[in-house]
Every structure is written in C-alpha cells, then in structure tokens.
Structure 1
Amino acid sequence: MVMKTTKQKSILFLKILIVFFIVIITSLYFLRDTILNEAIANLKSKMELDYNSNFTVKKANFEGFTDLSLTEITLTPRNADTLFSIQKLRTSINIWKLLTGEIQLGTLEVQNGFVQLVKKGNVKNFAAFLKKDNQESIKSSKKDYAEIAYRIISKVLNLVPTDMKVENLVFKLDDNAKRATIKIDKLILQNKNLETSLHIKTNSFSQRWKIKGYADPRGKRADIRFFNLDTGAIKVPYLDERYNLISSFDSIRLKIENINKSGNELHIDGFTSIANLKINHPRISRKDVIVKNARFDYRFLLGADFISIDSSSTVQLNKIKLHPYLAYETIEDTVYKLKIALPKTKAQDFITSLPDGLFTNFQGMEADGAFNYSLNFQYNINKPKELVFDSKLKKENLKITKYGTANLNKLNSEFIYRAIIKDVLQRPILVGTTNPNFTPLDQISPYLQKSVLTTEDPSFFNHRGFINEAFKQSIIKNIKTKKFARGASTISMQLVKNVFLTREKTLSRKLEEILLVYILENNRIASKERMLEIYFNVIEWGPNIYGIGEASRFYFDKNPSDLDLKECLFLARIIPSPKKFMYQFNDEGLLREFAVKQESFLTNIMTRRGLLSLEDTIYKQQTLNITGAAKSYLRLKVKDSTAIDSIPTFDEFSL
C-alpha cells in the first residue's frame, strides 16, 4: 500500500511537471513577440549607451514557435560609416537551449546585405567595439585558458547553423582607400555539406573562389577546401597593399577532426595543407618564395595555465618532416618554450625540399649521407639570464658532393670579389697574390690581427662558425628591446656574407648565411688562417677602400706589416662603420674624447687577455696621425696663413 502511494505521488509529480512546462511554453508562445521586441529595445539601448551606435530593425516577428524573421537590420556608429546592414534575415532558435541560457541557431537564411570595416584617417567605424573588448579583458584576473577557449568555441559553433542559405552578402574592408571586398554570391550548408562561391575584388585584382567540404558545427568537425574558379593561383587580398606582402596559393585544405575538453585540458586535433604557396616581401627575400607542398598535422593542448602545440604534431615541407613543440606557460613565471626535432633525414631530400627563392645559393647543390637535428629554446621573462638555447646536429656520412651557386671551394684559390652596396655592384677586387694590394696573413701586423680578433671575434680559432653564448645574449637583448638590436655575427659569418651573399637585410640572406657558415666550418673546406686572410683582404675599410693593403696606405701611407699598435687599434675600431671614420676626429685632427675612451677600453681588454704587454703600450705617449689620402676627409680648421712679422710695427708707422 505504501509502495502504491509512492508510485501515485511520482506520477502526480510528473504530471504537474509536464503541465508546468506546457504552461511555460504556451506563455512563451503567446508572449514571444513581446519578449522579442523587448530584447531588441534592450539591444538598441545597449548599442547606444555602451558603443555610441545606432541599431535599428524595421520589422521583427516569430513565424511559428522557433522561427524568427527580421528585416532591414542596421548598425551604424555615430559619425562613422555603417558597420553592417542586412535586408532580410530568417533563423530558428533551439528553444530548449534558450531555456538554459544558451543561444543555438538551427537554420539561417540571409539575403542582400553587407558588413564593412572602414578606416578614414584615424577614424574607425569599429573602434568602439574593440575598446569595449579590451576593457572587459582587463577586468579578467586569473585565466583558465582551456575553459575560456572551450567556452568561446562552443558559443561560436552554436551560432553556426546546421542548415544555412546565404545570398548576396558582401564583406568590405576599406583602410584609407586600401580596399578589398568578398562577395558571397551563394552559400549553402545542408546535411553537413558546405558549398559556396565567392567573388574577391581589390584595387589590383578580381577573382572567383569556391569553398567546398564538410561542416558539422554540433559535432565540432569540419573538412573544408578552397579553390580558384578562375585560372591561376588564389591571391590573398589586402595584405599586398597594407603590408607589401604579395601571397597566393593553388588550394588550401583545413580539417578539424576533434575538439574535446577532458578534465582540465582542451584538445584540438586536425590538419591543414597548402599547395604552391607563393610569398613575396622585401624583408623575406628579393625573389618569390615558393613552397610546393606543406602540411601541418596539429594537436593543440590548452590547460588552466598553458597553451601549447604538442610534440606529436608534424610539419611537412615537401620531403622534410619535423616535430615542433611550442608552449606558453604561466604556472609560476611566464615562460616561452620551443623545441624542434628533425628525425633522420637524407641530406639530398633536405636540399631539394628547401623553398625556391629562399635559398637560391643552394640550388644545384648535391650531398650524400643523412643527419638529424634538435633545438631546445626556453625563455623565462622574469629570469632572462637563465635562457636556454641548445642546438644540436648529428651527421651520418654527410658530405657535399656538388656545390650550388655559392661554391665555397673558391676560398682556396684566387677569385674576384665584388661588393654589392644598395644593389650596386662595386669595382672588382682580385683576391690573390697577383693583386699588389693583396696581403698574406704573415705580412699583416700582429697588432692588427689581435685587435680585429678582439673587437670582432675573440674565439674565432676555437669555434665552428657560431658562438652559443653570443646567440643567447643576442636573443635576450632583442627580446628586451622588442627589436633586432643586437646580432651575434662571427668573422666566419661576416666572411660568408661578404664573399657569397649581399648586404640585404632579409630573412633569406640570414638563413643562407647560417647554413653556408655551418657547411664551411664543419666540413673544413678552408683553414681558419685562410679564412682570416681573405677576411682582411676583402672587408670594407673606408669609402671605396677594400682590404688591409688599400686601408693601410689610405690612412697611414704604410704597408700592413709596418702599422703600429695605435694605428691598428684605430683600424679595428672603425670596421663596423668604416665610411664614418672622419667623425672620430676633431677639427684639429686629434681623436675625440669618445674615440680615446674606446681606444683605452680596447687596450685594457687586450692587456688583460695577455695579447699586449706593458712594453707594447708605450705608444700612449704618441699621437695618432692620419697621413694618407684619408686626411682629405677630415674636417680640419683652416689656420690663419698671414705671417705675424708682416704686420707693421709702431716704429715703422712713425718713420
């Protein structure tokens, strides 16, 4: 009897609950238009008060229980261009999600509209919305990256309808007359199949694209491809005018296989691939950089206090495959980590996989053997001196069998050197004994050799082209200043840059320099003594002055073997800016105070290192005199040439 009563009570409770939901749903049904109009009124007020913008909807009403219809929707910031305008929008909302406070769209139809971002001078029609976002982000103190990311992704995907039809919707960008428009002629998402055609137009080109693939916003999966409907590659709009970056590709594929939050970690897995990517930018390379095939199999991991790309991810560049690990951690301090693991790779596969245009001096190079490589980088912003930079390369019968454009073997024989300054080829310099200005190493003053090695590369005879500690200090300095404020160039690197490369400040030149130096030093192509000898005979030492033979005569009218210590210290100090040597002197032809201090500093370093003795420094009693043709570059005070005794005396006037 008790059991029956309990069962009856349960049935009664269930009936009451059902009636309660029916009443709520019925109330919502009859009040839905009132609630909708009130929500629009609140949104209008919020746009006006918080964003100083005008939000209008000409007509809004429900069609059925969940279908919502809106016409002539606009958002216009005060004293700025309209942000968006849509003629007709129809959508359905998941009522059950709405009851829990979530907005999830079911279907969406959009007809005739535009969204535009406009910047005129310093006035942006979207500025108020950016400021609001910044203020809200500042208020947030402790961040749980996994939770924040998952919440944002979920909200965005809930706003992506499962069925969608968009016609004649245009996205416009106008950045002070730098314009780009993306017109969606037709976009259809039905039964998780996506297909759309786009018309892209900028000041410089017009193209038609097609996007096709699979999209399941509720299952958090997608597989989408971009193609060009016209002939040629897909050009990326806006970047060419805004950043002088010209880029294009044949096709892109983006696949999201999994978005899953398990415990305190968020996992995002998938891959993206691109075919025939072409990039052109003056800071990257003077030529088009072409990547034929690239693929990134990614696994993003986010936790409460870290964001990372897991080491199980793979980057493939033609035949090269490597595993990257990147992390941003805030567990105790803010720490940046980067690890790269390149498994055993055939040397020839590596050479042929290098992007065209980025390593032009390696074209035609051939090699035997294999190698693997690893890099470990770690930077703690609160403990910069503890920076980790560990680079290792392990070779297996690695041998260069044929050189490309940069034939490193030429260092062992006579060759013609021509400097390139601001794209202008300078006069030819014969590096060899046939040239009377060429000076063998044993005929260069030991003082000069010691001085130059001290200023440019003290460990030249001991390193293999690079100095890890110098790299570390360079990285620390550049991170602190947020710019490239310090390099870590060795004499080996300067030699390669002078003889085989140009002085252009591009990523391409720097990467080529690093690889060429490694090959030169680690394959012992030329001895250290020969490398130093060439360095002394090719570097710029003044206006149109190349090599120590020309420099010693230009400044002091001497042979390089006859230079004294003071003259050698001067020549070593001006290497970074040889064409500005005249600013070292005052109008009397004497070294300025800052130059004297530099000279003294260099002398003290060399003395402490045992490169100079007390007897060597007797020169301090002497004065540096520029006696060669360089003297004409000094800005000397003109002395009064009138003889004192030519002025008439008082007695002469009285005669």
Structure 2
Amino acid sequence: MKTGKQKIILATKILCVLFVALIIAFYLFRDAVLKQTIAKVSNTMEIDYNSTFSVKKASFDGISGVNLSDVVLVPKNADTLFKIQKMKTSISFLHLLVGDVQLGTLEIKNGYIQLVKKGKIRNFDAFIKKDKQTEISNEKRDYAQFVYRIISKALNLVPTDMVLDNLSFRLDDNGRKATINFQQLRLVNKQLETSIKVQTNTFTQRWKIKGFADPRNKKADIRFFNIDTGAIKVPYFDERFNLKSSFDSIRLNIINIDKDGDELHIDGFTSIKNLKINHSKIASKDVVIKNARFDFRFLLGSDFVSIDSSSTVQFNKIKLHPYLAYETEKDTIYRLKVKIPKMKAQDFITSLPDGLFTHFQGMEAEGNFDYNLNFSFNKNKPDQLVFDSNIKKENLKITKYGEANLNKLNGEFIYRALIKNVLQRPILVGSANANYTPLNQISPYLRKCVLTTEDPSFFSHHGFINEAFKQSIIKNIKTKKFSRGASTISMQLVKNVFLTREKTVSRKLEEILLVFILENNRIASKERMLEVYFNIIEWGPNVYGIGEASRFYFQKSPSELNLNECLYLARIIPSPKKFIYQFNDQGMLKNFATRQESFLTNIMFRRGLLSPEDTIYKSQRIIISGPARSFLRIKTRDTTQIKIDSLSVDEEFDL
C-alpha cells in the first residue's frame, strides 16, 4: 500500500507527463492552430466589424514565438486602419493555458496605425459602436474588480522586451493631420528609451521618452521631453480646438497598483514643467504654470471610485488636497472636497499662473489663510445639494495693489465700458459730472427694487452668497445648461470697473478673488459701492448711470421716480438694450412685463419693503416720455378714419 508521500510523487509525475504531452501536441499541430486562429480573427472582423483582416505569412519560431508579415486591417469603404510589414512576438504558454494572453517579447518593423475622418465617415466607427443586441444588465458593476481586470489585461499585452522600428500613429481629421513616428523604441531589462518624430500641418519636432517600465509588477517611472530646443508642442489640438499648448517635460511615476480585498489602490505621481496654454475661452494671454505636480492615490471599491484626500496637487508654492468621489451604493452621489492648508498670502499671490491673473501682478500681502470647500450632489435628490465654501484668515492684509487698484472706488475716476472689445465713451464718476447722483438723492423705491432683483442681502454678505451659488448649481444641473448665475452687486461692480466683459475662465477667477479682497478688507463701504454701481451700470443704448437713465426714459431726476418707474428700471438691468421689447405697438407694457412687475411687487410686499400706501397710485400705467420713446415701435393712429366712423354714427342715428 502506497504512502501519502508516494501518492504525491506519483501525481506529480503524471502531471509532468500530461504537461509534456500537451507541449508535444501543441508543437505538432501548432501551424494548423495558428492558421485556424488567423482564419477565426479574419471571420470575426468580416462579420462583426465589416472589415478585412489579412496576414500574408505566419509561422512559429520555437515553442512560443510567432512571426507575422504584412498584417493588414481595412474597414470596408474606408481607409486602412493598420498595416504592419513585420511582426515577431512570443506568448507565455503557461498563461495561455489558463486563458490569459501575456506577451513576452515584441518586435515590429515598418508599420502604421491610422485614424481617418473624411466628412462624417471615420475608418474606426465599426470598432466603437455599441452592440445593439447586447442586453442591458441591471446588475451593478464592481468598479475595483472591473478596473483591475482591465489594467491587468492591458499590462499583459505590454511585452517585457520590445523593439519597434519605424512604427507610426497617424491622425487625419478632415485635413487636420498629425503623425507620431516611433523611429526607434527599445524596452530592454525594464529600461525604456525612444526616438520619436512628430509632424503636423504646423510644426515638426523630435521627442524622447526615457525611463523605467515593469509591466509585470505594474510599476513605471517615465520622462517625456524634447530633443530639439524649445518646448514640446501638443499636436492636433491647435487646429482642431484652437488650443495651443506646450510644456518642457512630463514625468509619470506609477508606484503601486494593488488590489487589497475589495479595494483597488493606484498610487503614484505626475509632474509637468512650464505648461503653457492659450485659448480664447481661458484667457486673452498665454497661461503659464512653471511647476505642477499631482501626487495621487486612486481608490476603487465595489460601489465607488475616488481620488483620496491624501492626494496632493501642487503648482508653484500652492498646495491643495482634493477629494473626488463617485458613489453608487444607494444613490448616485458626486462629492468634491478641496482643502488648502494654512499658507502665506504672499506665496499664494506669487504662485498664481502667469497670464491667468494679470490684475494681480505686483500685488503684495501680509498674513496667512486656509481654505475648505465641500460639495456634494445626489443625482436622485438634487435639492439636497451641499455647497460650503469657507476661508479662515490670520492677519490678512493687502499692502500693495497690482494693476487693479481697488482704492480708486473711494475717489473720482473715469469709467469706460468695454463692449465687444470696443471702449465706450468716458463717464466721470464724481460730482463734476452733472448726471452723477449721490445715493441719498436716488429714489428709495429704486434702491429697494434694484436690491430685490439683483442682490437682496447686499448689505449683509461678504461678496458671495453660498445659498445663491447652491441654487444656481441645482438649476444648471437640472436644465443641463448654464441657465442661472449667482452674481452679487459686488461681483458686478468689480467686473464693470476693473475687468472686461470677456467670457473667460481668467476673468471669472479674477472677479472672485478681487471681490473677496474688496469685501473682506473693508476697502470701500457698502454705501459707496452701491452708489458707484448706480452711477456706472448700463441702462440702455449708450445710457450709463441712473442720472442719464431717469432722464432718458422719464425726463425726471432720480429722486422724482415713482414706484412704477422704479420697478421698470430694476427689471431691465439684465438686458437694458432690449427695453423696446417690453412695449407693444401702443407704447404700453406687454403682458409678460406686467406679470414680472406684479411678481416683483409681491416679493417686496412679503419682505416688508412696500406697504399698501406705497401702491395707491400703482395702477397708473407707465409712460415713457423721454428720448427712449423714439425707440419704441408705436403705430400712428389714423385720426381721419376715426372722424369718418364718428360721422357715420351721427348720420345713422340722425343726430
């Protein structure tokens, strides 16, 4: 009778014999298997993707090596997707037995992969369209398991040793062309080095990728830089999106990809030097970030994907800790948290990207601050949105202003509106201007009406209203478009006096920072800010300030305006040049305008800003009597017809 040890030895011998038998069988029939595999792939391409796949010659090299020549994939009625003259690769036989494809080595000589779009026809459409017959599953996806499986399969297809000579990636988007040619790529003993030529319609450059790459252990440390002098230009985007961008170098370091229980951890960092971006929607100048780095930790579970709060984003001297999460455990929830630890205000100012904050150049500050943002949105409960923005100051003080000298609000200055990059006529903000109106000489009704429509909590907030931002975000998400803003009078004042009306990221960011400085350093009183606001805002075609507006519409001084007239002036502030559409061909307010007026009046009643005595004469219709009347499209009454009609009536009744 055999012992346990003898049984184990016997079983091992049997397995070895079976394994050898499998290798021999595979070796004897491998050519047939290879031909069958190529035929199967070709048939799949024909049936599922309406494409022709062909290999001119295929043969084995040793047990696991495969030589292929003239490998071509051509979609029907479209340009070739890829063509490779010579390819040699080896596959791990052990991994193949368990269903995984793991490349050992790869050699490619002379080939190209190209994406072509002509008109609306793309040569890769068949490979990205979803299978209509695929059943929609209600089962939740395990994000950690799904991503780990994808990463593992992708890295298994990256060979441990690789040699590429003259392999090109081409892009042709209706004549917008870019070619990235790997003239030479070597991955030997985990060391990667390349020589790349990039060519577009607008430039030609030579790049290099160099570093460490270990696909089996899921680690890498790669640097990307320019061989020629000057920065690396990003191809295609300049022609396709009018986005010009460049950088000196990029580094990507993958430290760890590990699945621990139900969670997947991806750790590493990426950095970039002298990133330059130019786009009309971002800023009017080049935006330059000298040094930026992102130390990341991605966490994925069965029902969430997140960037952990231990991650750090740094540009110049500014450091912040982001937390982003997408959760699906019960409801679909999006979360964002940003924390800027305590830092010097001057370090923050000097670290702002060049070109993005031009009005802050030369500004100096003392003190410290820290900042926290908390945002949460539940897709199934949008009205429960969380938006909390909080800054803590420590002896914060502006000691020197930059291009935007906020102190000018306290004295006389010349204001010139900028509309479509054209400077309008100069307006003197001061008593020497006959139309300038001090706050105490403006009708109290107008002050109440404008504050109600534009900024009800102006005298109590510090430049921003969290609840307004919150409601704005909710409405914009629900409507899936930017349909509501959250601009305060402080923000409108800063935008008008110190900034342009260009709709750029730069202008909005500068507006937010300047408003914070203005409101939190008590540079100008609320009363002075409101007075300047009333005297500069546009109220019609070439009409600026309440002094001009009250005479343009009603031939009155601002102190003489009645409630109806004030309600009208407050309502047209968002679109003052379109005031003519408020009136019908009889010169009377249209129904929608009277409904707006009633709505505004009711709000003011509820807030105690109006009393019944204020509305005794409100039933009187508004009369445009000033120069604005000439803009109205009023039909002239035919008085002759009226007389004829009257005469006919007299004759009929024998009067």
TM-score (norm: length of structure 1): 0.97
- Tell me the distance in 1 between the aligned counterparts of 2:643 and 2:28: 119
Question: Which residue of 404, 407, 412 corresponds with 1:406?
Answer: 404
Identity of aligned residues (%): 71
Letter in 2 for 1:504: E
When structure 1 is superposed on structure 2, of 288-297 and 229-238 the one drifting more is 229-238
Residue 604 of structure 1 pairs with residue 594 of structure 2:
no
Within 5 Å, give how 1:316-355 maps onto structure 2. Answer: 316-355=314-353
- In structure 2, the CA distance between the partners of 1:228 and 1:130, relative to structure 1 (3 Å rule), is same
Structure 1 position 619, deviation (Å): 2.2
Question: Which residue of 305, 308, 328 corresponds with 1:307?
Answer: 305
Letter in 1 for 2:276: K
Structure 1 position 137, deviation (Å): 9.3
Question: Which residue of 512, 532, 535 corresponds with 2:533?
Answer: 535
Structure 1 position 638, deviation (Å): 2.0
CA deviation map 1:552-605 (0-9, x unaligned): 010011100011111111100000000000111111111111111111111111
Structure 1 position 642, deviation (Å): 4.5
CA deviation map 1:352-399 (0-9, x unaligned): 000011111111100000001111111100111111111111111100
Residue 374 of structure 1 pairs with residue 368 of structure 2:
no
CA deviation map 1:10-31 (0-9, x unaligned): 4333222221111111001111
- Tell me the distance in 2 between the aligned counterparts of 1:481 and 1:122: 29
Residue of structure 1 equivalent to 2:278: 280
- Tell me the distance in 1 between the aligned counterparts of 2:550 and 2:313: 52
Residue 86 of structure 1 pairs with residue 102 of structure 2:
no
- Tell me the distance in 2 between the aligned counterparts of 1:132 and 1:625: 62
- Tell me the distance in 2 between the aligned counterparts of 1:341 and 1:353: 17
- Tell me the distance in 1 between the aligned counterparts of 2:541 and 2:256: 62
Residue of structure 2 equivalent to 1:476: 474
- In structure 2, the CA distance between the partners of 1:161 and 1:641, relative to structure 1 (3 Å rule), is same
- Tell me the distance in 2 between the aligned counterparts of 1:8 and 1:605: 94
Checking the alignment, whether the CA contact within 8 Å between 2:66 and 2:89 is kept in structure 1 is yes
Question: Which residue of 520, 540, 547 corresponds with 1:522?
Answer: 520
- Tell me the distance in 2 between the aligned counterparts of 1:447 and 1:134: 63
- In structure 2, the CA distance between the partners of 1:566 and 1:185, relative to structure 1 (3 Å rule), is same
Residue of structure 1 equivalent to 2:96: 98
Residue 503 of structure 1 pairs with residue 493 of structure 2:
no
Checking the alignment, whether the CA contact within 8 Å between 2:232 and 2:246 is kept in structure 1 is yes
Structure 1 position 50, deviation (Å): 0.8
- Tell me the distance in 2 between the aligned counterparts of 1:226 and 1:642: 85
- In structure 2, the CA distance between the partners of 1:140 and 1:204, relative to structure 1 (3 Å rule), is farther
- In structure 2, the CA distance between the partners of 1:5 and 1:267, relative to structure 1 (3 Å rule), is closer
- In structure 2, the CA distance between the partners of 1:340 and 1:621, relative to structure 1 (3 Å rule), is closer
- Tell me the distance in 1 between the aligned counterparts of 2:346 and 2:63: 66
Structure 1 position 609, deviation (Å): 1.4
Residue of structure 2 equivalent to 1:261: 259
Within 5 Å, give how 1:626-637 maps onto structure 2. Answer: 626-637=624-635
- Tell me the distance in 2 between the aligned counterparts of 1:132 and 1:371: 50
CA deviation map 1:431-462 (0-9, x unaligned): 01111110000000001101101111111111
- Tell me the distance in 1 between the aligned counterparts of 2:138 and 2:229: 49
Structure 1 position 7, deviation (Å): 4.1
Residue of structure 1 equivalent to 2:175: 177
- Tell me the distance in 1 between the aligned counterparts of 2:340 and 2:8: 65
- In structure 2, the CA distance between the partners of 1:369 and 1:120, relative to structure 1 (3 Å rule), is same
Question: Which residue of 60, 66, 80 corresponds with 1:68?
Answer: 66
CA deviation map 1:182-233 (0-9, x unaligned): 1110000001110001111111111111111111111111111111111211
- Tell me the distance in 1 between the aligned counterparts of 2:62 and 2:265: 39
Residue of structure 2 equivalent to 1:489: 487
Residue 196 of structure 1 pairs with residue 180 of structure 2:
no
Structure 1 position 645, deviation (Å): 6.9
Letter in 1 for 2:53: F
Structure 1 position 480, deviation (Å): 1.9
> Which runs of no fewer than 5 residues in structure 1 stay unpaired?
none
- In structure 2, the CA distance between the partners of 1:225 and 1:71, relative to structure 1 (3 Å rule), is same
Over the aligned positions, Cα root-mean-square deviation in angstroms equals 1.8
Checking the alignment, whether the CA contact within 8 Å between 2:563 and 2:618 is kept in structure 1 is no
Structure 1 position 493, deviation (Å): 0.6
Question: Which residue of 568, 571, 585 corresponds with 2:569?
Answer: 571
> Which runs of no fewer than 5 residues in structure 2 stay unpaired?
none
- Tell me the distance in 2 between the aligned counterparts of 1:272 and 1:76: 37
Letter in 1 for 2:180: I
Structure 1 position 103, deviation (Å): 0.6
Letter in 2 for 1:302: L
TM-score (norm: length of structure 2): 0.97
- Tell me the distance in 2 between the aligned counterparts of 1:643 and 1:329: 73
- Tell me the distance in 1 between the aligned counterparts of 2:258 and 2:295: 17
Question: Which residue of 571, 580, 584 corresponds with 1:586?
Answer: 584
Residue of structure 2 equivalent to 1:152: 150
Residue of structure 2 equivalent to 1:227: 225
Question: Which residue of 459, 462, 467 corresponds with 1:461?
Answer: 459
Residue of structure 1 equivalent to 2:381: 383
Residue 247 of structure 1 pairs with residue 245 of structure 2:
yes
Residue of structure 2 equivalent to 1:428: 426
Letter in 2 for 1:437: N
